[in-house]
Amino acid sequence: MLARGSPRFNMLLSKGAQKKKSPIATASKTHGGSPKGKTRANWNSMLEKTLVDLLHEHNTPEYKGNNGWTPDAWNKIAKEFQERERYASFSKVQIQEKEKELKRDYRMLKGARKQSGVSWDEKRCMIQADPPIWDNIIKVSLLPCFCKLEIFLCVVSS
């Protein structure tokens, strides 16, 4: 036990006040928001079409597992995507996230098309329905941005 006021006790107090941070604690943390140096993926309809084409090409038992594409397939899809779209530099994770988003949008559109009173306009590549049915579609499916999905479908179907 150290006596109060002793040189050893005062030294320990001063060192405790000047505690050094561990190397792990000093590393820059990126909780919330986007990490530094990384930009958000900006997708357009042509990039989406390229991704959908690649996913269709790799939709074989060789590349598919029980729960989706295998890691090797994802690596190959990401590599081929970079070769086809040289100006766009998306990571494998960004491509995987876009695939999830496209699947979600497809499921919502498919569910909306199944409702009675809804028809599909082939020329405009969009759903046609009366306003009360639209209100029901929006409430049921919580479709956030139907216009973006309609534009994408027009590009994919052409």
At 158 the pLDDT is 46
What pTM does this model have? 0.62
Burial 63-75 (b: 16+ CB within 10 A, else e): beeeeebeeebbe
Backbone torsion region of residue 133, taken as left when φ is above 0, otherwise alpha when ψ lies between -120 and 50, otherwise beta: alpha
Q: Which domain holds residue 128?
A: 45-157
Q: How many domains does the chain have?
A: 1
Q: Look up residue 130 and give its two tokens.
A: 């009366």
Residue 27 lies in a domain: no
Structure letter (DSSP) for residue 57: H
Residue 20 CB coordination number (10 Å): 8
Confidence band (pLDDT; 50, 70, 90) for 107? Answer: confident
Residue 100 lies in a domain: yes
Q: Are 137 and 115 in contact (CB under 8 A)?
A: yes
Q: CA 108, CA 148: separation in Å to the nearest integer?
A: 13
Q: CA 15, CA 18: separation in Å to the nearest integer?
A: 5
Model confidence over 60-91: pLDDT tens digits? 889 888 888 899 999 999 999 999 999 888 99
Give the pLDDT mean for 113-119: 83
Q: Look up residue 78 and give its two tokens.
A: 């990401």
Q: CA 93, CA 74: separation in Å to the nearest integer?
A: 9
